[in-house]
Structure 1
């Protein structure tokens, strides 16, 4: 991995919202219970180093949906709430690039490297990561700061959240992004700053 603070990497935090606290609604068996804590470590590091930061918030077109404006689920989780002045980008589909100005903001700020964490690995995180890679950004996705839920297969079989998470990361790694761990990324950023 070759990432440094000199790359001016942007942290993109996707859909860390209260809607996902209803585990059974999303399929149960959520994996990676420490994803939010790891995302908080990243967020604190980015804030301390004044690196570019984007909070992505899913707002459903159906106001009554879990992520709808009439449901408290659309609100950011307490530990990952944006501070005043931090960029919030609202989306209504899986990709944070569709129907938003995320790409324009990255390009206008000369950002070529992005770091992605969020919920859920196989939906909005994966879709955003794929588009980021396709747009040509040097993209990193945090294996331990993302998570997902179990899914029902086409024949009614159940796939655990961990299986869905690992297979989603396997599809992204070295094709659309580099999969890394939180502490590994922070150590590399620090090491690069010393060189």
Structure 2
């Protein structure tokens, strides 16, 4: 199967109840979840591959703690029967998981990545995916960021982190477009 004809998968990364805990309240782009829901509905209507990545953190202090009350995938984007759920324990969805093998088995060479947060798990997954030879699309409005504080105490607000990370990833690692542009291109 040629790359031009290979299916394009939608990967939803770390969209779990944990992102609604108070420590994540300063995130930008509050409409990101609705955008992911729209992408998900579009993908399902086309019968295209959808994969869900679930973060199971081993540290009990983490919002994403594997055995904690906030670990579930958000019901708004919950997987349907037949949609793979790949569990990860690192920030990168390719490390220690079956993501690459699953995509290879599905003959997927291109994927759209939506989820949280752009400067952590999304960034790590995009960079690893690019190194593995995937063509990646990042819908800019289907993700979010939180403020970052450096070791020296300097801080950056969520919007600045979001814009800078998308600019860096869009320069070399992924095609950055809005979800609307993406749907228009694929419709």
TM bucket normalised to smaller: over 0.9
- Residues 6 and 107 of structure 2 are in contact (CA less than 8 Å); yes or no, is this contact kept in structure 1? no
- Residues 119 and 125 of structure 1 are in contact (CA less than 8 Å); yes or no, is this contact kept in structure 2? yes
- Superposition map of 1:9-20 within 5 A: 9-20=8-19
Root mean square deviation, CA, Å: 1.6
- Superposition map of 1:50-61 within 5 A: 50-61=47-58
Aligned residues: 185
Residue in structure 2 matched with residue 103 of structure 1 by the alignment: 100
Distance 1:148 1:44 in 2: 23
Calculate the TM-score normalised by the size of structure 1.
0.89
Structure 1 unaligned spans of 5+: 191-195
Structure 2 unaligned spans of 5+: none
Residue in structure 1 matched with residue 116 of structure 2 by the alignment: 119
- Given candidates 32, 37, 50, the residue that maps to 2:34 is 37
Residue in structure 1 matched with residue 144 of structure 2 by the alignment: 147
SS in 2 for 1:38: helix
Calculate the TM-score normalised by the size of structure 2.
0.93
Identify which of structures 1 and 2 has the higher relative contact order when contacts are C-alpha pairs closer than 8 Å and 6+ apart: 1
- Residues 64 and 71 of structure 1 are in contact (CA less than 8 Å); yes or no, is this contact kept in structure 2? no
SS in 2 for 1:145: coil
Q: Deviations over 1:79-102 (max 9, x none)?
A: 111112211000000111011111
Q: Deviations over 1:79-133 (max 9, x none)?
A: 1111122110000001110111110111122111111010000000010011111
1:91 and 2:65 correspond: no
